[in-house]
Amino acid sequence: MSSYALTIAAADSADEAKRSADIVCSGAHDEQPINEALASLEGRSGKVYFRNGTYNIDSLTPHPAAGLGGICITGADAHRALTLEGENQTWFSTFPSYDISGGVIFNVTDKAFGDIDGSVPVSGLIAFPDENGKEPFPGRVISVTNIALRLPTNQRPDTCGVNLHHVSGLTLSNVFVTTADPFDRMQLPAPGTRGIYGLSGSKIAEYRLTMCIVRGFERGFDLPGEHIVADGCYATYCKYPYYLAGDGTYTYHTSVFLKCGHEDCLYGPYFGEFTREGSLYEFIAYDSEFSVGALFSQRGGAIEANPGFSRGHVSHTATLEGVGIRSYPFWEKGSGSGFVTRQSLEGTACGPQTDLNSTPWLNEIHRGIVTDTVRENTLSAFRLTGELGYKYLECDLRTTRDGVPVMSHDDTIPDAEGRPFTISELTYDELKDYPLTAAGETVPSFEDALKTVYPYGITLNAEMKTRTAEFYRRAAELVIELGMSGRTVYNLNTADRAMVDMVAQLDKRARFLFPYDPATLMSFQDLYEDRTRVWIVIPDHRVTQEIAREIRRSGHMFMIYHVNDPAWFDYRPDIIEYRTDLGARVGGLIRDYLRRAGR
């Protein structure tokens, strides 16, 4: 089979590059000469060499089975090798937008998106299948090197950067896929958006990714096949950095991720349901980084909805900006068949595992910081808690007449002028007629409270005053939707096993608080033992050695609940020493009088 090579320059390429190029693009509709060049290689192997510059893609080519494409590789019926290679990797990012410049950039413009049907899949760079959506095997083996691709936005559903799903072999090296959405105003990506979409099925030893980066997609690397070898790849600001839900994965074949990682993603790698034997995944020296307060570091951990028969092992570290370097749970405990999860974290180079179970909860602020002008359970109280540096906050939730979760301890409270009103008798919109302060602040929704505390890295102890399944469900959905799972502890005010199970199924990283009594300890002794706290009211229930031993035997941790009594702290100033004196795990202290506790 004959091969061919040609060189293409951009409108802004260097003069020398233009003089030596076979094709020089004009800077408008550059997809047309590029696609013509690729079409000229149908039926044979070849290499297209791109000189540094920006290639503007202003229109999209339709395909009956694959939607619309910008740069389009055709000829699905030929067994051949095709290489797209950029001159070199010299991309630069400019703060705060982190937009890219330099090197070879395929720039899909707003004009290309235009008025196209929102239901049609779109890909910036795509290898079109045949008209039936198939790829004959053996077929095309595609290599892409030193090329960046930028989409205009991540808000259009079913949009993909590099779509090489319908090929027989795939090698990507130094490929960067991003969007024009500025870093400092990045929105959560639309459903079905993908950075790099890899091939499916069993393509032995022909599925390699090296030093590839994706930014701002629902699925950073969507890699459904097997025999994957990824080295030094990274996903940022994605919902799932790696999406490994297989289609056509049949055997215990191994995929290896070496020195890969993600930064500020909502979740960790996702594993779908495999209906046959499943696959083995090895993550070696995996790195996950979280910037405190960043929108996309909301979850701070990994969740897999249905791992099926997947198996694997992780050698993993995590960097959390502002709190040092520590291990962080990669998968939820017990989430999959055969996975080595938390055990893999012990003894790592970054130190012992640290999570909510082993971090002291000292000074958990009761209903927020209150002043002469700031009322409890308001956004101002929560914001002030964060501004003063406190990381743990107790708050109260109940429902309005129209089912909106809002923040209040009592159902009937006075407004700023002392007029009483009852929350459960009013809709959320009607609550706005009852300002709580002279500044006009009203009863906040739980949704707004979550959005307020999130940037401060605060963990919420959310006490549910409304005790219905629908209320619990709505609260958990908001926690998940707004990225506070893993940073929300549910105090359901019930020991009803069905209610607890429901919330635990909705929020896989839910933690729970229960009031202390022997029956509760027995009922939940073997239930979610890594997610459970037992809180004890003081001075109503004195923390005695006997109670502490009982809690210790149950394996739970307990919170010491103490509010509205400044004299009590003077009575027991050794509260922190309870960790050793009582021989039980004390999660922390819920209280109002912060300066005293701070001593």
Q: Is residue 214 part of a domain?
A: no
At residue 332, the pLDDT reads: 38
Tens-digit pLDDT profile for residues 124-145: 999 999 888 887 777 889 999 9
At residue 590 the predicted structure's pLDDT band, cuts being 50, 70 and 90, is low
Torsion on CA atoms 202, 206, 212, 213, rounded to nearest 10: -20
* CB of 443 closer than 8 Å to CB of 436: yes
Rounded CA separation 191/149 (Å): 20
Domain limit, last residue, from 326, 355, 384: 355
Tens-digit pLDDT profile for residues 230-259: 999 999 988 889 887 655 544 556 788 899
Higher pLDDT, 508 or 428: 428
At residue 228, the pLDDT reads: 87
Q: Is residue 53 part of a domain?
A: yes
DSSP class of 80: -
Asked if 369 and 347 sit in the same domain, the reply is no
DSSP class of 38: H
Q: Is residue 239 part of a domain?
A: no
Higher pLDDT, 295 or 23: 23
Higher pLDDT, 448 or 360: 448
Q: Which of 195-204, 218-227, 334-343 has maximum average pLDDT?
A: 218-227
Q: Is residue 180 part of a domain?
A: yes
Residues 249-273, mean pLDDT to the nearest whole number: 73
Asked if 380 and 333 sit in the same domain, the reply is no
Domain limit, last residue, from 355, 372, 391: 355
CA-nearest of 462, 467, 491 to 479 is: 462
Asked if 462 and 584 sit in the same domain, the reply is yes
**Amino acid sitting at position 485:** S
Q: Is 114 left (phi over 0), alpha (psi -120 to 50) or beta?
A: left
Q: Is residue 413 part of a domain?
A: yes
Higher pLDDT, 578 or 46: 46
Asked if 303 and 386 sit in the same domain, the reply is no
Q: Is residue 83 part of a domain?
A: yes
To the nearest whole number, what is the mean pLDDT of the chain? 76
Asked if 160 and 304 sit in the same domain, the reply is no
What is the gyration radius of the CA atoms in the chain, in angstroms? 28
Q: Is residue 141 part of a domain?
A: yes
Number of structural domains the chain divides into: 3
CATH of the domain at 513: 3.20.20.190
Strands 412-414 and 420-422: antiparallel
Q: Which domain holds residue 13?
A: 1-199
Asked if 520 and 415 sit in the same domain, the reply is yes
Q: Is residue 518 part of a domain?
A: yes
Tens-digit pLDDT profile for residues 385-441: 887 777 788 899 999 999 999 999 999 999 888 899 999 999 999 998 899 988 889
Asked if 477 and 517 sit in the same domain, the reply is yes
Tens-digit pLDDT profile for residues 83-119: 999 998 766 655 455 567 789 999 999 999 987 877 8
At residue 461, the pLDDT reads: 87
Higher pLDDT, 353 or 174: 174
Asked if 253 and 288 sit in the same domain, the reply is yes
Buried b (16+ CB within 10 A) or exposed e, 492-521: bbeeeeebbebbbebbbbbbbbbebeeebb
Domain limit, last residue, from 334, 355, 376: 355
Rounded CA separation 372/40 (Å): 76
Q: Is residue 74 pLDDT above 80, yes or no? A: yes
Asked if 380 and 340 sit in the same domain, the reply is no
DSSP class of 555: T
Asked if 349 and 399 sit in the same domain, the reply is no
At residue 356, the pLDDT reads: 30
**Amino acid sitting at position 280:** L
Residues 452-463, mean pLDDT to the nearest whole number: 86
Asked if 122 and 182 sit in the same domain, the reply is yes
Strands 405-407 and 254-258: unpaired
Asked if 504 and 391 sit in the same domain, the reply is yes
Higher pLDDT, 329 or 46: 46
